[in-house]
Structure formats: structure tokens, C-alpha cells
Amino acid sequence: MSSDELIISVDSLGKKYDIYAQPVDRLKQMILPRLGRAVGRHDLRYHKEFWALRNVSFSVRRGETVGIIGRNGSGKSTLLQMICGTLHPTEGEVKTFGRIAALLELGAGFNPEFTGEENVYLSGLLYGIPEVELRKRFDSILAFADIGDFIKQPVKTYSSGMYVRLAFSIAAHVDADTLVIDEALSVGDIRFTQKCMRYLREFQKRGTLLFVSHDTGAVTNLCDRAVWLDRGEMVMDGITRDVVESYLAAQHAADRASIGQSISVEKPRATSARAAESADAAPAPLAMPATDAHPDDVMDGRLAELHGRGARNIVEFFEFDPDQVGSSFGAGAAEIVDVKLAGATGESAQIVLGGELVELSIDARIREPIEGPIFGFYVKDRLGQRLFGDNTFVSYVDKPLMPGAGARVRASFHFRMPILPTGEYSIDVALASGTQIDHTHQHWIHDALSFRASESTMRYGLVGIPMLSIDLRQVEV
């Protein structure tokens, strides 16, 4: 919910760095111009000026979520650091209102020699949280970070994932009006990222968010507005979809310009998914399935062709482990005890390709009798965006199961595995009682199964649908 209240105002902001070709030039620059001025020489300069950011102006209102996009080196971190007050502008002005908590790239914030615990208190002080208040929140900070005894170790011994866990947890506990997140969520395991994304989606309801990411899908999904920076200048500020589309079009044009326009029809055999991308662009005919095949037997014919060229889809599943799942909640009349993904013939699937039939099964132990349990699932991407999901309600509305206490119930969903872009994914599973509209969650497990698409032939979109057939022909007019 954005309001008219101004939270960040950036006016003609600029940051200049002096670049020295060699260290001795820095010394010369300190001494010689002063001497030169004494003899009337005002032109002695031993460095080049480089503007990391220049002439950037925009404002953010309370409740907005604004994405900052741009290629490497376009000035995103420079901008955020000036907004957070950790970097001084060369020109222009930043005004901020309320408390800003920042999760900037690794390296910002903590004292590496101090333990995690000491850094919690240090950060709390920096955010102006009284120590007594921080003590009250400490257990919750520790629980969110979930780094166990490492909280007693100096943060210099932390992995980058642990570092982000603690930094995010602190940022989430300082009653910030504005959260600034800079690529930090690309570090760490998917379950923690999912937890952060759940937090951010809740935070969006009351707070202001600045979100920097190379992942334009994530920006589109999360942000109302986006600001596009290029070589330190603001190219566009507007509705996220418009900005992202223009940005991607410019990226595409720049990529084409750099690789040249010529596409050889006689391509070498591809050896990776990346190579398959160039195969995608080829006008070569693709083998399609026989049209009279039973729909269940039909795979996307292009997959065989792409596999033949060495390009593959590989999705690797990690088994259900109750100790490794994300958080869970529910009224408790039933407990989900097992979740499996299997191939169409029932064998447990650890690697799937996309396009084939699979079975997702969810087993629950019933603790108290439930009239018509509803089982459901969601497949989510790394940022918690729900890609697809389903439940048993409609199929069983006229013949509800009535399991008694102690029964074990299994729901099985058979579907064709979509083709997914490379990335990490997870599946939430849930069991509810009631109806589709009015129900009580008895047990919901976030991230019960996780999986990784390590190779993919897919380039665009969130989910690829296996094509049953594609026909291209010239028609009479």
C-alpha cells in the first residue's frame, strides 16, 4: 500500500571517483598541484575522473516496492550505499525519512573480528535499538538466522550463506520503515531464501522496499516500480513491466550487436544448454511426435532433437527429510509424514527431464477424524513465486474420504513435468479440512521437497509447457 508520504528523495545525485593509473600518481596528485598553483599552474592533474553515478533523481513513497535494475557496474550499489548513508555523494542530495535497514552485498555491516552475537548488538546500536529491547529480540533473531552455535564464533569464520542469514535476520528485527536488499538473496540455500521472501512479502504490506537484482523476473514479480540505471545514468523510472521490457530489449540489442548478426545454418553440435539456445534460433525442422499417438505417450518432440544435439533438461530432486524442510504450521488434526516425486512407473525420481509424466504423492497420518481432507501443493521458484499447484478438492467433493484417527492417507497427483529454466525450486504441501473457500489448514509444510534444474533448454518464461505438436506451413491466400 503506497501512500503520499515521501520516504526517499534522491535529487541530482552523483558520485565521482578519481582513477589513478598507478599508485605514484596519487602521491603526485596530493603534492604537485599545490606546488603548481604557487607558480600559476592550475592544470596539473594525475588522475582521470570517473562518474559511477550522475544526475540521478527519483523519489519513493511509503509502501512502494521499487526495483533497481541495470547491468554490472551500472551504479546500483553506489546508489544504494548513498541512500543508506554509507557513501558520501559528490554532488546532489539524498533525503530519507524513517529507519532504513540495509542488506547490502557481503562485506557491509559486520565487524569480522566480533562474534555473531556481538555483531547483533553492534548492529542494533547502529539502528538505534536500545540494548534492553535487543535482548528481548535476541532469541527470535537467532531462530530466524538458524546458524546454531556459530552465533558465538567471529563472523570472519562464517560462510557467505551464514553471513547473509544473520544480516537478514537482524534487518528483519529492527522495525525498519524501509528495507534495502542488494543481491544478498542470491547467496544461501533455497529454504532460507524462501523464508526471506515470505518475510519480504509480509513486509511489503507495511513497509517500503528497495530491491536490487539482476533477476528481472524477481523484480517484475516483487516490485511496483523499477528504476533502470546504465553507466551511472538513470535511463527509465516507471511501472516495472514497462521498464523491464525496455531493459531486456536493450540488453538483447546490445548482445546481438556484440556477437554480430550472422547465424550459421550448419551449426556445430551443441554440448550444453547454452549451446541449445543457439539451436533454438535455428530454422531447422524439428522431429515431432506421430499425431495418432496417445496423449500420454506424447513427449515434446523437440526434446529428443535437442538431446541429440547434446542439450538437455535436468531437474534433480532432493528427498523429503522432515529435519530439512522449511517452517510448518497447522491446527494439527493430521500430520504430513512423507512427500515423494516418482516417475510414471512409480520409481522414485531423482532426475527428471521435463515433459514426462510424474507422480507427486503426499502421505499424512490422521490424528483426529477429518471429514473430506483436502491435500494440495504449490511449486515455487527460488523467490517464492508460485508457478503452479493443485489440490484434491474438486475430484473428491462428492465422495469425501472420512479417515479416522490413526489412519494414513495418501494423495497422488499425476502430471506432466513442465520444463523449467535453470534454477532452484521447492514444493509446499498442505492438508486442510473444510471446503475450497472456507478451510482450516491442518498441516502446511513450506519447502517440503526441493529441486534444482541444473540444465535447461528453456530460455523464456517461468514454466515451459511441453508442446504436443508444432506445425509450420505456407497457406494459400
Ligand X SMILES: Nc1ncnc2c1ncn2[C@@H]1O[C@H](COP(=O)(O)OP(=O)(O)OP(=O)(O)O)[C@@H](O)[C@H]1O
Out of 76, 137, 309, 312, the residue judged to bind ligand X by CB under 6 A: 76
**Nearest to ligand X of 74, 313 (CB atom):** 74
Of residues 90 and 115, the one with the C-beta less far from ligand X: 90
234 or 364: CB nearest ligand X: 234
**CB under 6 A: which stretch of 5-13, 73-81, 239-247, 277-285 binds ligand X?**
73-81
Taking CB under 6 A as the binding criterion, the range among 74-82, 134-142, 349-357, 360-368 that sits at the site for ligand X is 74-82
Q: Least distance from C-beta 157 to ligand X, angstroms?
A: 25
Is residue 73 part of the contact set for ligand X (CB under 6 A)? yes
Among residue numbers 375 through 414, which ones bind ligand X (CB under 6 A)?
none
Minimal distance, residue 50 CB to ligand X, in Å: 6
Q: Which of residues 2-31 bind ligand X (CB under 6 A)?
A: 17
Q: Pick from 121, 58, 115, 64: which is nearest to 92 by CA?
A: 58
Residue among 13 and 298 whose Cβ is closer to ligand X: 13
Compute the least distance from the CB of residue 183 to ligand X, in Å: 7
Neighbours of 299 (CB within 10 A): 18
- Min dist. Cβ of residue 73 to ligand X (A): 4
17 vs 388 by CB, closer to ligand X = 17
Contact between 54 and 231 (Cβ < 8 Å): no
Candidate list 22, 23, 43, 72; residue touching ligand X; CB under 6 A: 72
Nearest distance, CB of residue 160 and ligand X, angstroms: 15
Smallest distance, ligand X to C-beta of residue 180, A: 12
Nearer residue to ligand X within complex by CB, 29 or 361: 29
Residues in contact with ligand X, shown as a per-residue x/- string from 95 to 134 under the rule CB under 6 A: ----------------------------------------
**Interface residue with ligand X, options 14, 54, 62, 74 (CB under 6 A):** 74
Q: Does 52 bind ligand X (CB under 6 A)?
A: yes
| SS3 annotation, the chain | CCCCCEEEEEEEEEEEEEECCCHHHHHHHHHHHHHHHHCCCCCCCCCEEEEEEEEEEEEEECCCEEEEECCCCCCHHHHHHHHHCCCCCCEEEEEECCCEEEECCCCCCCCCCCEHHHHHHHHHHHCCCCHHHHHHHHHHHHHHHCCHHHHHCEHHHCCHHHHHHHHHHHHHCCCCCEEEEECHHHCCCHHHHHHHHHHHHHHCCCCEEEEECCCHHHHHHHCCEEEEEECCEEEEEEEHHHHHHHHHHHHHHHHHHHHCCCCCCCCCCCCCHHHHHHHHCCCCCCCCCCCCCCHHHCCCHHHHHHHHCCCCCEEEEECCCCCCCCCEECCCCEEEEEEEEEECCCCECCEECCCCEEEEEEEEEECCCCCCCEEEEEEEECCCCEEEEEECHHHHCCCCCCCCCCCEEEEEEEEECCECCCEEEEEEEEEEEECCCCEEEEEEEEEEEEEEEEECCCCCCCCECCCCCCCCCCCCC
Among 14, 63, 67, 70, binds ligand X (CB under 6 A): 70
For ligand X, which residue of 77, 123, 204, 442 counts as binding (CB under 6 A)? 77
Residue 54 interacting with ligand X (CB under 6 A): no
From the list 26-34, 76-84, 173-181, 284-292, the region that binds ligand X by CB under 6 A is: 76-84
DSSP-derived pairing of the beta strands 374-381 and 386-391:
antiparallel
- Considering only 65, 78, 96, 193, the residue that binds ligand X (CB under 6 A) is 78
Nearest distance, CB of residue 401 and ligand X, angstroms: 52
The phi and psi torsions of 455 (rounded to 5 degrees) equal -135, 145
Listed ranges 68-76, 217-225, 263-271, 429-437: which one lies at the site for ligand X (CB under 6 A): 68-76
Based on CB atoms, which residue is closest to ligand X, 163 or 413? 163
Applying CB under 6 A, the residues found at the interface with ligand X are: 17, 50, 52, 70, 72-78
